[in-house]
Structure 1
Amino acid sequence: MKNKWLSFFSGKVQMEVKGKGIERLLNECTRNGIAIFAVKKKQDCVLLMIQLQDVHAFRRVIRKHECKASFTKRKGLPFLLLKSKLNLGFTAGFVMFFIILFLLSNMIWDIDIKGAKPETEHQMVKHLEEIGVKKGRLQFLMMTPEKIQKSLTNGIDNITWVGVELNGTALHMKVVEKNEPTKEKYV
């Protein structure tokens, strides 16, 4: 069997075949297109592996011979799914763990603003809350960093430029404020 992943997903069965004419049985199986692999000869029997979908065809072939077959091992995803039905609580906990891990790793946990005065930073936080960017929000439910950047530069007057970068679960913002000269009063 060349591709072990495909055989894992489709399932495979190890069988123990006893009786007379095992070689003829194996030859007829290969003529009928039944994939047989991992064949091992023991004292009075042969251990072999077949794919799960070939079990019914193997049973039709073995009826014509003086051999008896019994299942010894079952491997693959179909059998794991059958086992998981018995351990339903464990399986549900396992699935819920990965769902929660996915959701928590896609939330914004930190908003870092650098280069702004406290008044400007307060205005930015208010504006971010208005457009729906806040801690605990899922990343795929909010705007892209480019749209956040555009909204901040258009919405707040005393900002010249804002760089928004999403790094993991943190949103980093670098701010350049406008430096307007003080206006002189004419007498």
Structure 2
Amino acid sequence: MFDSLKSGQITIEVNALMPEKILNILWNNEIYTCNIIRVNLTTLRFTIYYKDYKETEMLIKKHKGKVRIVRKKGLVVLLSKMKSRISLLVGVILFFVVIYGLSNYIWAIDIQTQRNLSPFEIRQQLTSIGIKPGIDKSQINVYDLEKKMENLNDQIMWIRIRVEGSTLKLVIKEKVNPPSTEKTLFNQVIAKMDGEVKRIYTNSGNPAVVPGDIVKKGDNLILPIQGREGFQIEVKPSGTVIANTFYEKFMEVQISGDKLERTGEKSSDIYLSFYGKKIYLKKAINEFTNYDKIEEDGGFFNKVTYFEKKGKPVNLDKDITVKESTQKLEDSLKKTLSNDAKIIDKKVTVDDIGNGKILVKAIFTVEQDIARNIS
């Protein structure tokens, strides 16, 4: 029995013209056989040790016989089957070990807020107290964390924090401030921006300003009364107030020296982040002298890309560059103005800021309606 468990046994069927002759050959080669059964005239079934199978098969085929395995048994047979699947078994074990290890960490933070608080703001505050993806669950006490968040943000009325799987979930209720007791004055025409009054056109109401006045945003422009003193009546004011308003824009331009530009070459790091430790899947060979570095933080899976930059000689005409830059600034401003606004003047200054760079500043005077009707 011990030898059977140690060596293993195989039951085979041998088909030959003279199967007894093959049996004698096996005995002559000291190959142990047992449980011999004649199946038919040309076929014998018997059992041999697993370790003798290769030699038995060779002898049978040498004497023009055919062999077929009927059954296998024994510990060594089981081990041979497991050997072919050992890599799969190891892979499965490693998979569950990794999954178990990762399950002890927080990999996602789910934040539910209401109207005024943004998840981004809450995430920043969590980071400031050390709570971020990759942290060990054992380092988180949800009740202490709730108190800390309430102390950090006075807009939080109530907060519930729980760990669900590998996700930290926050549900936040915000404080609702009481409505303002200040009375809002209706039926007004006020200035929506600073400016110098040029012309006033009233549909109803008396002007509160005259041409040449400098007004600030929120100043009253048209009074809710109409008529001369002693003959005044209350009306809903409306009208148009044309004023000169002022916008400042600037642009930094390189006109000489070398300008760094991307060449199109790039390299990247790809790594997994476990609680502050990095496991690199790919390491960049960064031989670039100058480069842009772009980091993509995915919490668990991260990437850093390096874009090579090389200097290209720049030699631009200063006057032409200033003119083109001023036009670009003006075009940029026009996109923000209403259709009735028009640019009536511009003052341009140029400062040399070194390293072949200049700073083009332009102050534009824009004539537009600054009246805002509140009703």
Q: Structure 1 length as normaliser, TM-score?
A: 0.46
Which has more strand, going by share of residues? 2
Structure of greater relative contact order (alpha carbons < 8 Å, 6+ residues apart): 1
Larger Rg: 2
Scaled by the length of structure 2, the TM-score of the pair is: 0.25
More helix by share: 1
